[in-house]
Structure 1
Amino acid sequence: MSISWFRNLLDAFLCCEAEFKAVLVSGRDPSQFSKPPLDRLIPDLLERAVKALDVCNAVTHGVDLVTHWQKLAQIAVTALNQNPIGEGQVRRARKALNTLLTSMVFDDKENANSNFHGKWTERTRSFGRRGAAAASALNSKDRTAGNFRSLSWSVAKSWSAAKQIQAMSSNLVAPRGGESTGLALPVYIMNMIIVFVMWALVAAIPCQERNGLATHFQIPRNLGWAQPIIGLQEKIGEDWKKKEKKGTAGLLEEVQRMEKVANSLVEFSDTFVFPLEEEKAADLAAQVAELAEICEKMEGLGPLHQQVREVFHRMVRSRAEVLDVVDQVSKLSAPAPY
């Protein structure tokens, strides 16, 4: 679960989302949205999309936090790459690495709201029912501008990523009988993809309150596309169980490697004696080179951040388009005035 893997995952998600919207909306008779089972499934899909927007916001802040860890690690790399290395460089590296590790071991609930920005301001939810002012601004400004600007709001202090994923995965039932041959199946598939992608992001990237994050959700094995997702789900779920026991900062590969090397370098700094022995110098150089490589791979955090925001904007736009169809249905079904 590396940065590059998540970038591929989000690319695939955006492709699926575009194809799904074409199936659901393009050239579709609006009256179908008012008939079973779509009259029940469409509102459920829209509500799930709202919850996914909150997850995107939380993940965006989590990516910012990991970027801060990268900067701290880079400070240590720069200090320890000095030649000859002395007490001053080691103290500087140790301070940066201790700050890094202290941030990593924060409880998940605190991790999203503290440390590198002091304390993030509590703001309203993405499209919460209480966010009337936000919804008004969205309708008046963003729609007239023809695009949706970044809604970089944090989530409420009591918000839980684990509970949000649980809410998204509840009532997610595969269509049966005649429903399995109509639009109900694409809606179910898209719902499942949304839940899986958001769940994987929460498991890997620091988010607020991840304790008790579900390790699996039910997917019928008889569906042709189910096996690859089930395989990924089982692997991620097992890794998450180990993560919760160890209390590490998430499943992102680069973060796990960074934590391991940072701990080793802190141990080195505690026993540092000048001048450095040749064997210890070689071992130090190898660890610093590994940390530098990890920092280099973390340059992908910027593009990943943009992709998460693109997922956010795409879901906002698609949700608006589906709501437009629902509005058409409402107008068609309204009784004629006399």
Structure 2
Amino acid sequence: MRPAQDNQGSFLGRISIRRNQFVDVNNEQEQEDLELFQKHIADRFTELLSPPQPPPSDETNTVASVAATEQIMSVTWLRKLMDVFLCCEAEFKAILLMGRDPTQISKPPFDRLVPEMLDRSIKALDICTAVVNGIDSVRHYQRLAEIAVTALEQRPLGDGNVRRAKRALANLVVALSLEDKENVSGGGGGGGGGNKTTERSWSFGRRSGGSSAASKGGATIGQLKSSSWAVGRNWSAAKQIHAMTANLTPPRGNEAAGLPQPMFIMSTVMVFVMWVLTAAVPCQERSGLANHLPVPPKHLNWAQSLIGIHEKIGDEWKKKEKKGSAGLMEEMTRMEKLGHSLMEFADGFHYPAEKDAAESAAAQVAEMAEICRRMEEELVPLQQQIREVFHRIVRSRAEILEVLEQAGKVSAPVV
């Protein structure tokens, strides 16, 4: 994301210099800033929409490996999305606050738009908290996969190794398919299912015993330990996203050419990024979000790539929601497919293994090992970036509130 960061630096410097030179921001200057801001939004999301294409399956060179890790919803791609959000947020804050008369954002229509935006930021903080904890569940899946990989890499491969791998794979498959199945069965189309559904979606596949049912992938909720989250038991990702979209409509008339426009753009970007994070990792009560995220009008140039990403993720989410999935993260999706395939190998294993079956399984084990390696390298940095997003939102919200307080003091009558 180096070009985006370079653009951000020059953009912020440009605004800083011009607004320090002039007491008032004139309309022509502001219009130039708004157009450049929209261009940067479009460029950044275009880059996210068109990552390198995945290589053919038999290609193993370094370039191909890098391309494979940058597909939409991969951990690497999600990290780039966090960088994009931080860059967009910094530029937006400069447009909103830098060198501007504080009283301007306390007058209509900003007396309505600013509080709505601040309310969205509070809901985004909740989602960041839930997603950071959801990544802990993903790391648990990674550990189960690593157990299976270690067992299946043993040579010669014996019955004991396969049984150990089978237990880990069974827990992995159950964990990866559990959460959304429970949401779907509870009928929580808008995240508003009953308490029973809420409690079910609160549990993830941490195996508490060695029952044969669990080893066959048939573990029930009662056989799984509850995983504690840092948000309340009745909290709903779907409700949070839906609440963030309330009153999120494009500005019209004269407002479309002024400051309300970047406020709408940044709010749209924030909602979209939170929606993507909710889709990617295990997150409580998110049923129905695949269908109900409002997108900006297609005639807006800055929104084209964002809409394209939304459509790609939404289509995949609808497919996954029908059969149940813990998340759409590319590595998790691939891990689930490999888990099922290796379970079939384990079910039919007899020592010594048939040559063709053993070679096919070895290739799948190698791919699973590579996925685990990428997760080991990328998941913790992704968590750190989401925490950075959290703290950035907190700081920006505090700065806006401070400006509003200053505006209140300026406009207060002298007694």
Structure 2 length normalisation: TM-score? 0.71
For residues 342 and 383 of structure 2, the distance between their equivalents in structure 1, rounded to whole angstroms, comes to 29
**1:19 alignment partner in structure 2:** 91
Q: Structure 1: state its 5+ residue gaps.
A: 123-153
Q: How many residues align?
A: 306
**2:324 alignment partner in structure 1:** 247
For residues 298 and 171 of structure 2, the distance between their equivalents in structure 1, rounded to whole angstroms, comes to 45
For residues 123 and 204 of structure 2, the distance between their equivalents in structure 1, rounded to whole angstroms, comes to 23
Indicate yes or no: 2:249 matched with 1:173: yes
Please say which of residues 32-41 and 327-336 is displaced more in the overlay.
Answer: 327-336
What is the CA-CA distance between 1:121 and the residue it aligns to? 4.2
What is the CA-CA distance between 1:165 and the residue it aligns to? 0.9
- Are the counterparts in 1 of residues 171 and 205 from structure 2 also a CA contact under 8 Å? no
**1:318 alignment partner in structure 2:** 396
Indicate yes or no: 2:159 matched with 1:81: no
**1:67 alignment partner in structure 2:** 139
Indicate yes or no: 2:275 matched with 1:203: no
- Are the counterparts in 1 of residues 178 and 204 from structure 2 also a CA contact under 8 Å? no
Identity %: 57
**1:327 alignment partner in structure 2:** 405
**2:22 alignment partner in structure 1:** none
**2:310 alignment partner in structure 1:** 233
**1:119 alignment partner in structure 2:** 226
Query: Following superposition of structure 1 onto structure 2, how do residues 89-108 of structure 1 map, counting pairs within 5 Å?
Result: 89-108=161-180
For residues 316 and 361 of structure 2, the distance between their equivalents in structure 1, rounded to whole angstroms, comes to 30
- Are the counterparts in 1 of residues 335 and 368 from structure 2 also a CA contact under 8 Å? yes
- Are the counterparts in 2 of residues 175 and 184 from structure 1 also a CA contact under 8 Å? yes
Structure 1 length normalisation: TM-score? 0.87
* Higher RCO (CA 8 Å, separation ≥ 6 residues): 1
**2:267 alignment partner in structure 1:** 191
For residues 295 and 356 of structure 2, the distance between their equivalents in structure 1, rounded to whole angstroms, comes to 53
What is the CA-CA distance between 1:114 and the residue it aligns to? 4.0
What is the CA-CA distance between 1:116 and the residue it aligns to? 3.7
Q: Which of 76, 79, 102 is the aligned partner of 1:4?
A: 76
What is the CA-CA distance between 1:120 and the residue it aligns to? 4.1
Q: Which runs of 4+ in 1 moved over 6 A?
A: none
What is the CA-CA distance between 1:107 and the residue it aligns to? 2.8
**C-alpha RMSD of the superposition:** 1.6
Deviation by residue 1:243-302 (Cα, 9 ceiling, x = unmatched): 111212221111011001111111211121112222222122111111111112212111
**1:52 alignment partner in structure 2:** 124
What is the CA-CA distance between 1:170 and the residue it aligns to? 2.0
What is the CA-CA distance between 1:111 and the residue it aligns to? 4.6
Secondary structure of residue in 1 paired with 2:285: coil
- Are the counterparts in 2 of residues 219 and 226 from structure 1 also a CA contact under 8 Å? yes
For residues 112 and 73 of structure 1, the distance between their equivalents in structure 2, rounded to whole angstroms, comes to 22
For residues 322 and 214 of structure 1, the distance between their equivalents in structure 2, rounded to whole angstroms, comes to 32
For residues 294 and 248 of structure 1, the distance between their equivalents in structure 2, rounded to whole angstroms, comes to 18
**1:224 alignment partner in structure 2:** 301
**2:387 alignment partner in structure 1:** 309
